[in-house]
Amino acid sequence: MRFFVDTADVSELDKLLVTGMVDGVTTNPSLIAKSGRNILEVTKEIASMVDGPVSAEVTATDYDTMIQEGKKLAAIAENIAVKVPLTVDGLRTCKTLSDAGTMVNVTLCFSAAQALLAAKAGATFISPFVGRLDDMGMDGMELIESIRDVYDAYPTLKTEILVASIRNTRHVERAAEVGADVGTLPPRVIWDMYQHPLTAKGLDDFLADWGKTGQSIL
């Protein structure tokens, strides 16, 4: 499973890039607003930092304006994936852009039926929001399983499942278990994946024993 970082904070991204674990980036209007930067400027900088897809979201809701915004975002760099909402106009925009060779990430997916529509519209990625379903008392990961089943039943569908609204490491584990293609993770969740109390204890024990030997490898 590939890892995308869900951020518009260049400094956070820079810290994660050196780990070699970053395969792409996703942004949205809320993350751009939090960064306090111009959307075109920060998107261009992020796209220059990573080789993989960088999702940049349109803010319009009508087809004509979404197409204009999508083309402007796509022109920033070759690795831009234009993010559109899962609406009638959003999927119409997806079809037009994808037919023209632009990567498209369809966001705000909450059902397998919606995911099927996005795939038929040529989406490169479908972004189901598992955390928001959990917030409603549902099991968001069941949606990932359902979409995986639907897509696997039709091999001609090439849309990748990009699990979004990930809140914790268990979400990541379960997404991998059911065969999600991508997870977009907040920086905090990626750092949390490294942590386990037994790992820390084991390292402390090893170092204590090594110190008693008085040796040095260098």
Distance separating alpha carbons of residues 122 and 155, to the nearest angstrom = 14
Give the pLDDT confidence score for residue 63 in this predicted structure: 98
Domain that holds residue 198: 2-209
What's the domain count of the chain? 1
Mean pLDDT of 48-70: 98
Task: Please list the active-site residues.
Answer: 83
pLDDT confidence band for 21 (50 / 70 / 90): very high
Q: Are 47 and 81 in contact (CB under 8 A)?
A: no
- 24 burial level (CB within 10 Å; 0-12, 13-18, 19+): buried
Do the domain assignments include residue 74?
yes
Q: pLDDT tens across 65-83, in order?
A: 999 999 999 999 999 999 9
Would residue 217 count as lying in a domain? no
pLDDT of residue 1: 97
Reported as a pLDDT band with limits 50, 70 and 90, residue 7 is very high
Q: What is the Cα–Cα distance from 196 to 47, expressed in whole angstroms?
A: 32
Does residue 84 belong to any structural domain of this protein?
A: yes
Is 131:167 a contact under the CB 8 Å cutoff?
A: yes
* Domain assignment present for 218: no
As a whole number, mean pLDDT of residues 183-187 equals 98
Task: Give phi and psi for 64, each to the nearest 5.
Answer: -60, -45
Q: To which residue do tokens 């639907």 refer?
A: 150
Q: Is residue 215 part of a domain?
A: no
pLDDT of residue 115: 98
The answer to whether residue 43 sits within a structural domain is: yes
d(CA 33, CA 24): 20
Give residue 27's pLDDT band: very low, low, confident or very high (50, 70, 90). very high
Q: At 117, which CATH number?
A: 3.20.20.70
Model pTM score = 0.95
13 CB-near residues (< 8 Å, 6+ apart): 5, 7, 22, 25, 46, 49, 50, 187
How many Å apart are CA 113 and CA 41, to the nearest integer?
Answer: 36
Q: What is the mean pLDDT of residues 160-185?
A: 97
Q: Is residue 154 part of a domain?
A: yes
> Could you report the per-residue pLDDT of 98-155, keeping only the tens digit for each?
999 999 999 999 999 999 999 999 999 999 999 999 999 999 999 999 999 999 999 9
Structural domain contains residue 179? yes
